[in-house]
Structures are given as structure tokens and as C-alpha cells.
Amino acid sequence: LPIHRQNFPRPLSKLNSLAVYGPGLIGGSILRACGKCFPDLELRVWGRSREHLEEVSRALHGRCFTSTDAVAVATGAEGVIFCTPVDFMEELAQKIAHAAGSARWFTDAGSVKGSLVLRLKKILGHRYLGAHPMAGSEKTGFANATESLFQNSVCILTPTAETADETQREVADFWRSLGCRITESDPFVHDQMVAQVSHLPHLAAAALVQAVGRDAFSVAGPGFRDSTRIAMGDAEMWAGILLENREAVLDALLNLETILQSATGALRSNDRDCILELLASAAEKRSQIF
Amino acid sequence: LPIHRQNFPRPLSKLNSLAVYGPGLIGGSILRACGKCFPDLELRVWGRSREHLEEVSRALHGRCFTSTDAVAVATGAEGVIFCTPVDFMEELAQKIAHAAGSARWFTDAGSVKGSLVLRLKKILGHRYLGAHPMAGSEKTGFANATESLFQNSVCILTPTAETADETQREVADFWRSLGCRITESDPFVHDQMVAQVSHLPHLAAAALVQAVGRDAFSVAGPGFRDSTRIAMGDAEMWAGILLENREAVLDALLNLETILQSATGALRSNDRDCILELLASAAEKRSQIF
């Protein structure tokens, strides 16, 4: 999808520099989109390895400041976005809070929000607004980043009572400028929702793959391919997400197990009505979602 | 995908007439492919409703004999294929066995093979060879049938000791002529394999949809969309398949439940290594399948 410039409204005309922490799939896609569409925006990138940062710099035709020094990247940035694994964000925020004293806003792209938002707002205050862009792929890393990743994806913002109005407006505009459709949620409600539509399906896809004997590989068709695609996601990243959100994931998982147990009972007793009801109501419900 | 004529070898030059029972997605796609690529092949079509058959006839430009009389359709056919729901095939076979006395071969497109093959071979003898083309979609019916449905899909043939060599060769050639890659399996081993890669994923997709609260719909992204697409399949058809194959589906389901219970325990005890091992081994295994 080409990025339509009309999707990129005022906010970034006001933003002179953006610091991106973690140029993986998400951070890299933000950089590519900004590099392409906002020629006057200064891009500052922090990553853990020099080689990785050199790849980023080449892709952006040198149009960025890159460093493995988190403080150096924060210095002078007006907007800051954390795209690292969620369990690393608090440490980063603490490290750069002082150097980013003049930043107007901070956001992040973490898949889990509840406790993370509490921890980051304690450090960054009213200038922080959590976000979760529902975009991505089983492919990870900067090599797979694309400028169009966020086009028409949903971005969930998770404001709290302390979030400044100005922060809320500017962060929403930033994500909107990448092509996102904005929605808002309480951070903990967010976690329950994504446990159901994202985290549980990841766990279930992995379990489905593990439930298949290697002999059966040869007959796997497009249904299996699609329903287990997300099982190829980055294991380290997803283990972090599942554990960070384990209360909500456990709730969703118990719900799934109850449904599967009921199906097991229905198959055992040859209860056609019960199986049909499960399949028919799921088909009807699923067809309303997209 | 265009159908390449070089994929269509000798067999159908020898086949003068084909009877198709059930012009839904599978039967309809066979008819469309044959109608396009084998101008000299007489197509005979049985369906339950006149209107439905008229739709088929229009799509094939009148180039077929259609009837709601199963016996009339069988008369004179050299090849016969059953594409109805599996629980209807035995009755049909019994009805047409006499009229199809001169048919060289019979096959079917049922998703479950074990007990079906036993029942059909009792009626049709050495001229019957079960088949399961691993093609399809959550969309059903003739309206969604396409001539390219089978291109590059796997078709599992399930011969028994009684299957004639000539039947095996001709039925394999027939499916190959539609674009299938042929593989063979014992009928009961087939059922265990498809329980794992097809039937269980369908049940799991339905359960995943049912485990989602309606509030969470709004944040469902591409991962959820793909992993639950098959939950939109025809509920009546899938209830029939799951119950027909319930022994093997129950084995696969118990396997899945054990894995999910282990994940539940790992999340409860915050056991990162166990979750990481599940995700990493699933990712590695899944990436080998396609």
C-alpha cells in the first residue's frame, strides 16, 4: 500500500525530532514511514548493536542519528517512542528521563499495557501515553519493516487520569500520521481484550503445532497454514508478552479450555446438536468481526 | 491461477463421461475445471435441487446433463465422483451401484476416510478408490467454485488391498489432471493425520472465537483474522466431519488439552523457560511445514 500523504496531518509539522528506541519490525516501520513522509523530521535511533544501527542508517540513506547510548539519543528529542520488548522499557525510561527533559511526549508500542503504563507514568508523568498498534507479523526485525505496516491498523491508546490533554492529542496525531485508526481503552481492559484476540491465539497456535505429529505435516493444507501462521512469531518476544500479561491470558486460557472440554464431552457422547451449536455460533460471531 | 494444459495428461482422453454427485465447492470446482479443459468429456451432474442444477448448467453453458435422479446421472458414466457430505455417500452408492455397472472407477472427495472407505468398498468393490483433496475454503457452495481450486493442492488417495491397479492408476490420473499432487495413505492413518492438521484446528478456531468477548472484537488484528478464518466454515458440514472422525479428533483434542494445561501451569508459576520452550519449538516446527 502506498502511504497517502493526506493521512499525515498537522502534528509532525510541529515535531522537529523523534527518538525511536528499538528499530525492529515496529520501530523500523515507524522509521521507514517517517523517513519517507516527513523529510524535515530529525530521526534519532537507539539500538543495542552497532551493526544493526548501521543497517538502519543505510536504509534511511544516512538521514538519522544512531547510537547505542540511550541518553545521547534522547537529548533534544521532542517525541520519544519505545519499541523494545516490554520488559526493557522501564529501565530505558529511567535512563533517559533526565536527558529527555524537554520532550513533549513519550509513547510506546508494547503489547501489554496495564502494569507497564503504571510503571512508565511513574517515571515519565503526564507526558506519557501508552499505545499498542495492532500491526505486525510473524516476521520480525528491521529487515521486515515496511513504511506501510500501520496503514489501516488499529492503534489502542491507553490514557490514565494523569495523561495531559496536549500529550493525548499529540500522541494520537502521531500514530494517526502513520496510518493508524485510533481507539482508546483503560490499560487493564486493554490487556484483557488483547489476551483474548492476540495472546491466547498465539499460545493456541503454538499448542496446535505441537499437537501435530511429524507424519501429518505432509497433508497440512491452507487451513492449517493460516491458523498456525502466528506460531512462527519471535518466541522470546512472545514469552515476554504472555508472562507480562499472564493474569489476563490465564483468564482467557481457562475460558478456552472450558469450551474445548465441552466439545470433548459432546464428541464422546456423539452429541451432534452441541457440536453444531458451537460451530454455528462461532461462524456467525466470527463473520461479524471483520 | 490459469490451468496449464500440460497438467492434464492422458487419462481423460480415455474417459468419455464423468458423473459428479454434489456440485458444491468441491464438485463445482471439478465441473468448472473439466468444463474448461476437457471439451470432449461428457459431464453428468446430480444435485438435490432443480434450481441449484440450473445454476450449474448455466455456468457450464449447458454443456452437461443434470438431474435430481441419482440413477439417471449414473447411467453410462465411466468415472463417478461423490462430492456430497460424507454421511450421504453410502446411501448414494447403494442407489447407483447397479446403474453404474459399466463405470470404470469411483472416487469421492470426503474429508474422513476410515469407515467410509470400508462401507463404500463393500458396495463398489475394487473399482472404488477413496480420495481427499486438501483444497477448499471457508466459502462453500457452487457460487465459490473455481477451476483452479485444486492447483498444487495435495490429494490423499486411500487404497486398500482390494483396490484394482487399474482403478488406482486412473483415479490418481484424474485428480492429477485437476492440478493435485498425489500422496497415498492407509484410510485410518489418513483420518488421524487430518484430525491433527484439519479437524482439530477447525474446532480450536471455533473455540477461540467463542472465548472472545464481544468488547474485544474491535481490537482484533490480522493474527486473529487468520487464525480463526476457518471458523467461518459451513457448520453442518463440519459437524458431520468431526463426528464421522470423532475417535481420531478426540485423540488430537486430548493432546491439545494436555499441552494447554501445561502452558496454564507454566503461566501460573511464572515459568519462563517452559513457555519459551513451547513457543520456540512450535515456531521451529511450524517453519518446517510449509
What is chain A's mean pLDDT, rounded? 93
Dig out the grid coordinates for A84 from the structure: 523494545
| Residue A191: CB atoms within 10 Å | 27
Is the pLDDT confidence value at A11 over 60?
no
Is the pLDDT confidence value at B102 over 70?
yes
How many residues does the structure list for chain B? Answer: 290
Q: How far apart are CA B284 and CA B113, in angstroms?
A: 30
Q: Which of A149-153, B6-10, B206-210, B226-230 has the lowest mean pLDDT?
A: B6-10
Spatial CA neighbour of B173 closest among B30, B13, B7, B11:
B11
So what's the pLDDT on residue A131? 98
Residue A5's alpha-carbon distances to A36, A37, A41, A181, B17, in angstroms, are 10, 7, 15, 15, 59
Distance (Å) from the C-alpha of residue B100 to the closest C-alpha of chain A?
A: 31
CB contact under 8 A, B270 and A246: yes
* Chain B contact present for A269, CB below 8 A: no
The beta strands (E) that lie in chain A are given as 17-21, 42-46, 65-67, 79-82, 105-108, 130-133, 154-158, 181-184
* Chain B contact present for A1, CB below 8 A: no
Strand order in the sheet with A154-158: A130-133, A154-158, A181-184
Q: How far apart are CA A28 and CA A141, in angstroms?
A: 8
So what's the pLDDT on residue B290? 84
Q: How buried is residue A214: exposed, middle or buried, by Cβ count under 10 Å (0-12/13-18/19+)?
A: exposed
Is the pLDDT confidence value at B111 over 50?
yes
Q: Which of B216, B230, B275 sits opposite A227 (nearest CB)?
A: B230
So what's the pLDDT on residue B219? 87
Residue B125's alpha-carbon distances to B120, B168, B169, B173, B186, in angstroms, are 8, 13, 16, 19, 17
Nearest-by-CA chain B residue for A182: B219
Average pLDDT over residues B89-98: 97
* Chain B contact present for A118, CB below 8 A: no
Collapse the DSSP code of B77 into the 3-class scheme (helix H, G, I; strand E, B; otherwise coil) and give the result.
coil
* Chain A contact present for B154, CB below 8 A: yes
Please, are residues A276 and B235 in contact by the beta-carbon 8 Å criterion? yes
**Contacting residues of A for B274, CB less than 8 Å apart:** none
The answer for residues whose C-beta is within 8 angstroms of residue B134's C-beta and 6 or more apart is A219, A220, A221, B153, B154, B155, B156, B198
Q: Are strands B154-158 and B130-133 parallel, antiparallel or unpaired?
A: antiparallel
* Chain B contact present for A169, CB below 8 A: no
Is the pLDDT confidence value at A10 over 70?
no
Between A136 and B189, where is the model more confident? B189
CB contact under 8 A, A279 and B206: yes
Angle between helices B25-37 and B50-59 (to 10 degrees): 30
Is the pLDDT confidence value at B4 over 50?
no
Q: How far apart are CA A8 and CA A179, in angstroms?
A: 8
What b/e sequence results for A70-91 when a residue is b if at least 16 CB atoms lie within 10 Å of its CB, and e otherwise? bebbbbbbbbbbbbbbbbebbe
- Tell the residue number behind the cell numbers 525530532, with chain if given: A17
Please, are residues A181 and A153 in contact by the beta-carbon 8 Å criterion? yes
- Interface ipTM above 0.90: no
CB contact under 8 A, B285 and A210: yes
So what's the pLDDT on residue A13? 53
Q: Which of A165-169, B12-16, B50-54, B113-117 has the lowest mean pLDDT?
A: B12-16
CB contact under 8 A, B282 and A206: yes
CB contact under 8 A, A279 and B183: no
Q: Are strands A130-133 and A154-158 parallel, antiparallel or unpaired?
A: antiparallel
* Chain A contact present for B200, CB below 8 A: yes
Q: Are strands A154-158 and B42-46 parallel, antiparallel or unpaired?
A: unpaired
So what's the pLDDT on residue B13? 52
Q: How far apart are CA A216 and CA B193, in angstroms?
A: 5
For residue B206, give the amino acid letter.
A
So what's the pLDDT on residue B12? 57
**Contacting residues of B for A270, CB less than 8 Å apart:** 243, 246
**Contacting residues of B for A190, CB less than 8 Å apart:** 219
Is the pLDDT confidence value at B3 over 70?
no
Average pLDDT over residues A278-289: 96
Spatial CA neighbour of A38 closest among A56, A63, A1:
A63
Average pLDDT over residues A31-36: 95
Percentage above 90 pLDDT, chain A:
86
Q: Which residues pair with A154 in a beta bridge?
A: A181
Collapse the DSSP code of B10 into the 3-class scheme (helix H, G, I; strand E, B; otherwise coil) and give the result.
coil
Average pLDDT over residues A72-92: 95
Q: How far apart are CA A217 and CA A221, in angstroms?
A: 9
CB contact under 8 A, A253 and B239: no
Dig out the grid coordinates for A246 from the structure: 499472564
**Contacting residues of A for B227, CB less than 8 Å apart:** 201, 204-205, 226-230
Global pTM?
Answer: 0.82
* Chain A contact present for B94, CB below 8 A: no
Nearest-by-CA chain B residue for A154: B219
For residue A163, give the amino acid letter.
T
Q: How far apart are CA B93 and CA B96, in angstroms?
A: 5
- What is the C-alpha radius of gyration for chain A, rounded to an integer number of angstroms? 21
**Contacting residues of A for B134, CB less than 8 Å apart:** 219-221
Q: Which residues pair with A155 in a beta bridge?
A: A133, A182
Is the pLDDT confidence value at A135 over 70?
yes
Average pLDDT over residues A21-25: 96
Residues 170-199 of B with CB under 8 A from A: 183, 185, 189-190, 192-194, 196-198
Nearest-by-CA chain A residue for B274: A239
Encode pLDDT of A88-128 as tens digits. 999 999 999 999 999 999 999 999 999 999 999 999 999 99
Average pLDDT over residues B76-82: 97
Please, are residues A120 and A90 in contact by the beta-carbon 8 Å criterion? yes
Please, are residues B192 and B251 in contact by the beta-carbon 8 Å criterion? yes
Position A6 confidence tier, pLDDT thresholds 50, 70, 90: very low
So what's the pLDDT on residue B10? 43
Please, are residues B175 and B11 in contact by the beta-carbon 8 Å criterion? no
CB contact under 8 A, A221 and B134: yes
- Tell the residue number behind the cell numbers 483415479, with chain if given: B171
Q: Which of B136, B221, B272 sits opposite A239 (nearest CB)?
A: B272
**Contacting residues of A for B204, CB less than 8 Å apart:** 204, 208, 227, 260
CB contact under 8 A, A252 and B211: yes
Q: Which of A183, A216, A223 sits opposite B219 (nearest CB)?
A: A183
Average pLDDT over residues A201-207: 98
Distance (Å) from the C-alpha of residue B61 to the closest C-alpha of chain A?
A: 31
Encode pLDDT of B163-214 as tens digits. 999 999 999 999 999 999 999 999 999 999 999 999 999 999 999 999 999 8
Nearest-by-CA chain A residue for B138: A223
Encode pLDDT of B237-285 as tens digits. 899 999 999 999 999 999 999 999 999 999 999 999 999 999 999 999 9
So what's the pLDDT on residue A9? 44
Position A62 confidence tier, pLDDT thresholds 50, 70, 90: very high
CB contact under 8 A, B268 and A250: yes
Please, are residues B67 and B56 in contact by the beta-carbon 8 Å criterion? no
The answer for residues whose C-beta is within 8 angstroms of residue A64's C-beta and 6 or more apart is A31, A35, A42, A43, A44, A45, A56, A57
Position B137 confidence tier, pLDDT thresholds 50, 70, 90: confident
Please, are residues B208 and A201 in contact by the beta-carbon 8 Å criterion? yes
**Contacting residues of B for A231, CB less than 8 Å apart:** 279, 282-283, 286
Distance (Å) from the C-alpha of residue A64 to the closest C-alpha of chain B?
A: 31
So what's the pLDDT on residue B87? 84
* Chain B contact present for A268, CB below 8 A: yes
Is the pLDDT confidence value at A12 over 60?
no
So what's the pLDDT on residue A8? 45
CB contact under 8 A, B219 and A194: yes
Q: How far apart are CA B125 and CA B118, in angstroms?
A: 10
So what's the pLDDT on residue A97? 96
Q: How far apart are CA A240 and CA A140, in angstroms?
A: 15
CB contact under 8 A, A243 and B272: yes
Spatial CA neighbour of A105 closest among A134, A130, A135, A72:
A130
Q: How far apart are CA B80 and CA B104, in angstroms?
A: 8
